[in-house]
Amino acid sequence: MNELRYPIGEFEPPDPITAEHVRRWIEEIERLPANLRAAVEPLSEEQLETPYRPGGWTVRQVVHHVCDSHMNSLVRFKWGLTEDRPTIKTYFEERWAELPDYRAVPIEDSLAFLDLLHRRWVVLLRSLGEEELERELVHPEWGPVKLVRTIGLYAWHGRHHLAHVRRLAEREGW
């Protein structure tokens, strides 16, 4: 079950985080919208309603979740760049995934939003210098987190959910 839940493993940042890590992570963030689109476009409506694991979200919910999560991340980055160690707001992802828009809104809307969101986010990320990358957010549960680590976390987050979709399609023979 853990293989289905964490198909690429849990996020483990390298120590130290180098400029090369950051460059690669930003490239992954940049490519995610196209990669996610390529993974879900061939799927039927029925396939979009398939959970990626027993008790897990449907592919449709995963697509909407990635959009919502990355939207929250961009806002958090902006707080981190404009405020002194802001405490970020967390949210109940599982409750968001049960809201009516996750069922009613076509995934194309979230895919299009993700394209634009990532375009802006990547411009911002590529503009950051060493000083900005060292700025911190305060997560209510994890404590202080540097922006540089957060870039890696969201590159992993995209790969993580993309792997959910791709491995489900492989297992099902889609």
Domains in the chain with CATH codes: 19-172 (1.20.120.450)
16 cis-preceded (ω within 30 degrees of 0):
yes
What is the per-residue pLDDT for 1?
63
What does the pLDDT look like over 89-121, one tens digit per residue?
A: 999 999 999 999 999 999 999 999 999 999 999
What does the pLDDT look like over 15-38, one tens digit per residue?
A: 999 999 999 999 999 999 999 999
- What is the pLDDT confidence band of residue 2, given thresholds at 50, 70 and 90? confident
Tokens 């897990």 found at: 56
* Residues 70-75, mean pLDDT to the nearest whole number: 98
Structure tokens at 147: 């922006």
Question: Distance of alpha carbon 48 from its chain centroid, rounded?
Answer: 18
**E strand segments, 9-123:** none
Query: Coil, strand, or helix at residue 100?
Result: helix
Nearest to 25 by CA among 166, 126, 93, 115: 126
Contact 133, 148 (CB under 8 A): yes
How buried is residue 136: exposed, middle or buried, by Cβ count under 10 Å (0-12/13-18/19+)? middle
Which phi and psi (to 5°) does residue 138 adopt?
-115, 115
The H or E element spanning position 77 is helix 59-82
What's the CA gap between 155 and 160, in Å, rounded?
A: 9
Nearest to 71 by CA among 17, 112, 43: 112
Longest CA–CA span in the chain (Å) reads 50
